[in-house]
A and B are shown apart, each in its own frame.
Chain A
Amino acid sequence: MTNDALLERARAAAASVTDPELPPLTIDELGILRDVRMDGGTVEVAITPTYSGCPAMMEIKSAIETAVRESGAEKVRVRLVLTPAWTSDWLTDSARRKLLDLGIVPPDRASGAEELFGRVSVRCPRCHSGNTERISAFGSTACKALHRCLNCREPFEAFKCH
């Protein structure tokens, strides 16, 4: 296999790795996968954590190593990059659709400090009512918060703008 073909297959393999906390979403759709390149004979994959302490990074790293090896590469190295800092703006449209299908409200665009404090109400993913309230600023994972719909009374999660 030529290096170009190898890189193409490695890239596809890395991009198909899913997030252990959100299995329908790939790390590519979430913006966690930053780069795949050849360094001599080694495939080097760069990933970035959503949050500094994201506990899924170890699992994602080993899943990438396995996937890239299975794609035909002999040597794989996964590198953690911190800059530029991950933002929820990097979620692709397909990621946003999948989140909604899961009943998780995707983040607003244009994240930043102001939005972090300014986002008061989010639309219920089930009945689409805007009459909702935030129950907890922290949810089951670092990237989500807990809300409740005051119309259909269902609790739901929302992806934090970050």
Chain B
Amino acid sequence: MATTSITLTETPHIQTLLSLADDALILGHRTSEWTGRAPLLEEELALANIALDLIGQARALYQAAGELIGHSEDELAYLRDPPAFRNALIMELPNGDFAFTIARLFLVSVASDQKWRTGFDDAALSAVAEKAMKETAYHVRHAAEWLIRLGDGTAESHRRAQDAVDTLWPFTGEMTEIRSDARLLWLHAVEPVLKRARLRQPEDGWMQSGGRDGRHTEHLGHLLAEMQILPRTYPGATW
């Protein structure tokens, strides 16, 4: 028996909190899917740690939003349907191969890093950002090191890394919509790493969007089905 989904009244501030929280939760969940199947033990630890950081950030943000609108963090994560999620589409894309996972982690982490450093007026949000920026700096470095290794590696790893960057590029616009100079700053940070990885930087063209308005790819529904099935099937279940 499925539990009823919650519906929210979203002020712009709540929407900001939910966008940040959903970005972190959905990418955290995707990253956690590597657990038990990463290509090497060290990477297993790394991806699990990164997923944990992201889900931790999401929890703090859901708590901040939840206090304002009277919902628990679990309700916000488990009892909303795909159209209520505010994450950018890039977070929900399936992991693909290791190159795709690393390329996405890099492109997203650079945007997150800059976002956390922007500074926020809201006290709860700055508290989360203050912690998250240190964690995200670590994610940027880890993903960049791997992207360089893959892009500047074998012909096969280069091809896969280039494919990943090309496929992901139209999904990167949504992350830098927040401020007018955000795209330039992001490009400025991404460019040197792509260059060192000997990867071609795609031209900025038409960009995918809709995630912030709840128009998602079909992948989010599948992800949420797996993530939400337990609390929706057994409401109030505890370990």
A-to-B contact residues, CB < 8 Å: 49, 51-55, 82-86, 113, 116-117, 135-140, 142, 146, 160, 162
Contact = CB atoms under 8 A, between A and B. Distances in A.
Interface string B145-167: 10000000000000000000000
Given A85-B131, A116-B138, A139 B45 contact: yes
Interface in B39-64: 42, 45-46, 48-57, 59-60
B56 A146 contact: no
Given A49-B56, A53-B54, A113-B137, A84 B130 contact: yes
Contact of A82 (B45, B128, B134): B128
Interface residues of B, number: 29
Contacts, number: 75
A140 B45 contact: yes
B72 interface: no
B135 A117 contact: no
B45 A136 contact: yes
Interface of B: 42, 45-46, 48-57, 59-60, 123, 126-128, 130-132, 134-135, 137-138, 141-142, 145
Contact of B56 (A52, A83, A136, A162): A52
A146 B41 CA distance: 12
Nearest to B140: A117
Given A53-B53, A136-B46, A140-B45, A83 B59 contact: no
Q: When A and B form their complex, which 9 residue pairs have the shortest distance between CB atoms, in order from nearest? A: A53-B56, A52-B56, A53-B52, A136-B42, A83-B127, A82-B127, A138-B46, A85-B130, A138-B49
Contacts of A113: 134, 137
Nearest to A88: B134
B39 to A, nearest CB: 13
Contact of B126 (A54, A55, A83, A137): A83
20 contacts: A49-B131, A51-B131, A52-B56, A52-B60, A52-B132, A53-B53, A55-B52, A82-B128, A83-B130, A84-B130, A116-B134, A136-B45, A137-B145, A138-B42, A138-B48, A138-B49, A138-B142, A139-B45, A142-B53, A160-B138
Contacts of B127: 82-83, 85
Contacts of A139: 45
